[in-house]
Structure 1
């Protein structure tokens, strides 16, 4: 499946971005045509951040985060984890309890002293607190 694109997996070809589309929209349209196994951390960050292909891409993002919880796209160490925490809808986690458990393990593995970005540190703290309740 990793050699197939989101368009092929979902059976929904978006085609080219509309004329005058923003760079972000154009990028999303392009990334939907790439084989998912070739998507870089930044590509996953962008697509998940736009809530595109979540059911297909979150497991790939978790594969990366399990190896490196602070995997970095173009912004800062941990930006992939940040987008997974902030942009993946709660109903996804409810529908995929195995993936939710994987995320919990990633969060537990992060040393907050190594997190450079205050926003990510706060989000991680919130998730850890919610898990204790």
Structure 2
């Protein structure tokens, strides 16, 4: 295990890192709620792209999940995590500003990545994606510690 992997706590679960543990969902919980509860018990190193997209979209333990998502996005910015090309990226840029404010260096790296995306690739993303990406870049560029 590399030093970076240890820093990302890849051998631990969100229930361990982000107390209190959630326990079991209610008997009548939706599929999504059951899935998120289950994902909190999976070691971070075993979470796949679709799992990360779900957790980021549901704003669960973002200080732990966003670094993992960005790590994947730096390798493949328009990764198709589950629904469509770029779904993980759009989930990440739509994370609350408060989450990114806690991770300014990571936000700056993602901003640089988003700014470098080729326009034809961005044009293939769902309606509204261009505006979401531009909004994230504007916000990240406004931070004193970025770039």
Q: How does 1:1-133 map to 2 (within 5 A)?
A: 1-86=9-94, 88-115=95-122, 116=124, 117-129=126-138
Of residues 72-81 and 93-102 in structure 1, the stretch that sits farther from structure 2 once superposed is 93-102
Task: Give unmatched runs, 5+ long, in structure 1.
Answer: none
5+ long unaligned stretches in structure 2? 1-8, 143-147
8 Å CA contact 2:107–2:140 kept in 1: the answer is no
Partner SS state of residue 20, structure 1 = coil
Could you say if the C-alpha distance between residues 46 and 132 of structure 1 is closer, same or farther in structure 2, counting changes exceeding 3 Å?
closer
> May I ask how many residue pairs the two structures share in their alignment?
132
Question: Distance in 1 between the 2:137 and 2:104 partners?
Answer: 17
Alpha carbons of 1:26 and 1:42: their partners in 2 closer, same or farther (altered >3 Å)? same
Q: TM-score, normalised by structure 1?
A: 0.90
Residue 132 and residue 96 in structure 1: after superposition, are their counterparts in 2 closer, same or farther (change >3 A)? closer
